[in-house]
Chain A
Amino acid sequence: MVNVEEIRDYAANLLKKGEVKSVLGFRRGSASAFAEPCTITDVGEATSLVWDPTCLNNLTLYLVKDRKQQAAAKNPDNRPVGIVAKGCDSRAIGVLLQENYFKREDVVVIGVSCEGTGVVDPRKLSAKLKGRTASRVTFGGADGINVSVYGDETETVIPAREILADRCLECRAAVPALNDVVFGEAVGAREFDEPFHAAKEAESLSADERWATWEHHFDRCLRCFACRAVCPMCYCPECVVDSTTFVVTLGTSAEEKANRIRWCERSANTSESAVYHLTRTIHLAGRCIDCGECERVCPVNIPLRLLNTKLEKEAFEMFEYQAGHDIEQASLLSSFRDEDPNSFIR
């Protein structure tokens, strides 16, 4: 079991010694049992850190935000940042290191093990609790999550497989491989779903059925871009699907407007959202580490993970590539092997 006191002490120590300017972690949220991300800068605040199955977020996003902030600051504070990272989060850091987004010495990875289970899916949990609100959620060993609800403090063990986030069910490495320290036991073998289970299931449908599903999803997309905003890999200052730096003013000539490439319109209709989603997926090929954040934040529950894991599966099966596993490796799309598939080409 992870002893949360050890995490707190470690974080406090880092701050005390001035090794980091801040620590990104989780603290108790103000509503219900779910933890929320926090940045602590004072030694005293370290006592608010928590680690339990409600620590959903991939905090790597805030490392990226910090980088952007420092790049824009007049007097940048480039001291390292500490970060509490699960297995998937550490892979996200791995990808960013591979892409030279920051350097290894810029981050202190405080790894936490998922104790053989993982984090819960808030939607599954609330369905399970039938409208009651969880007040406390803790790890309950190899196959259970302990949950208690408001008004009834007795703990019930819910089988992990029923409320775990989809990605955790399929997770292949629930321990941060990239770390400066790890708390908790490295529990390797997990007996939930096989890797890429959901993507494989979706693949088994016919093309017409698949299109019917995705047409429905693309049609529902609001183009709020929450999925893009939450993804630590979507760090471009300007996104190819919606230009924010091209300002049309009175002085913009018709030619300038015409010559500006617009790959897809901003309107939220099926065809344009299809371009957005396919672009997003392909731009994350070999980079998405399946933290599931995009799917979690989607207000209309579009199964975005399926698209990403489909390519993750192809990368794994055809190119033996796993995102975020080896920071020295050339990225998926900038490398090739002679034995790459060729038979689909005429």
Chain B
Amino acid sequence: MSNPSKVTKAEDDTQGRASVAGARKPGATFEPRIVAFLCKWCSSAGSDLAGVSRIQYSANATPITIPCSGSVSPMYILSAFNKGADGVLISGCHPGDCHYMEGNYLARRKLYLVKELLQFIGLESERFRMSWVSAAEGAKFAEVVDEFVEDLRVLGPQNRLKAKR
């Protein structure tokens, strides 16, 4: 992988488990787990750029590359929370820059409704986030993730929608 700061799946898994276990142990610091759905045309490349530019940022986000922010089904988000994500980030191209012309506009409308609905049932509003990050905005990507991690640290682990298995 060309991105040194991007964690591999295996590393991330151990880290995630450690963080879940850590959250239960008093005194241990809580490492939030973020599932980040990144558009392959922009934000995914933006995260790569953050990596190759050797920007230091939190390694708490598990990136999942998707073809377009418009392709995000609300089920991805619900499923991520169900499986224990502390936060979900969706990142796509700036308005006007969509590779498919209007995917991000459709995403914006759809995800606005998802955000409102999640808040309505009482999920903390900080847990679901959307950003526009272009392929040239490595620094912005790092900033978005860092900010998200900080906010989630304050909130603590997400237990409301997490499956109690």
Contacts and interface: CB of A to CB of B under 8 A. Distances in A.
Interface stretch (A129-137, A183-191, A270-278): A270-278
A63 B129 CA distance: 40
Given A270-B164, A342-B95, A346-B129, A278 B121 contact: yes
Contact of A344 (B102, B115, B147): B115
A311 interface: yes
Contacts of A336: 102, 105-106, 108-109
**Most chain A CB within a 10 A radius of its CB, from B95, B119, B122, B144:** B122
B108 A342 contact: yes
Contact of A346 (B124, B125, B130, B163): B130
Contact of A263 (B75, B112, B132, B147): B75
A332 to B, nearest CB: 7
For chain A, which range describes its interface: under 10, 10 to 19, 20 to 34, or 35 or more residues? 35 or more
Chain B contact surface mostly: helix
A78 interface: no
Contacts of B121: 210-211, 214, 274, 278, 307
Given A202-B120, A211-B160, A311-B117, A319 B78 contact: no
A203 B164 contact: no
B74 interface: yes
Contacts of B144: 346
Contact of B120 (A310, A332, A344): A310
B23 interface: no
A181 interface: no
Contacts of A270: 164
Contacts of A311: 113, 116-117
A42 B129 CA distance: 58
B117 A340 contact: no
Interface in B19-52: none
Interface in B138-163: 144, 147, 160-163
Nearest to A270: B164
Contacts of A208: 122
Contacts of B95: 338, 342
Given A269-B164, A278-B117, A279-B75, A314 B112 contact: yes
B128 to A, nearest CB: 10
Nearest to A310: B120
B56 interface: no
A209 B122 contact: yes
Nearest to B119: A207
B110 A333 contact: yes
A276 B75 CA distance: 10
A76 interface: no
A264 B165 CA distance: 12
A307 B106 contact: no
B7 interface: no
B109 A212 contact: no
Interface of B: 74-75, 78-79, 82, 95, 102, 105-106, 108-110, 112-125, 129-132, 144, 147, 160-164
Given A274-B78, A346-B147, 5 more contacts: A207-B123, A279-B78, A341-B108, A345-B108, A346-B132
Interface of A: 199, 202-203, 207-215, 240, 263-265, 269-272, 274-275, 278-279, 281-282, 285, 307, 310-311, 314-315, 318-319, 332-336, 338, 340-342, 344-346
Q: Which 7 A-B pairs have the closest CB atoms?
A: A211-B122, A210-B122, A336-B105, A346-B131, A271-B163, A214-B121, A345-B130
29 contacts: A212-B122, A214-B122, A215-B122, A263-B75, A272-B82, A272-B163, A274-B78, A274-B82, A274-B121, A275-B75, A275-B79, A282-B74, A310-B116, A311-B116, A314-B112, A314-B113, A314-B116, A318-B112, A319-B109, A332-B109, A333-B109, A336-B108, A340-B109, A344-B130, A345-B108, A345-B131, A346-B129, A346-B130, A346-B144
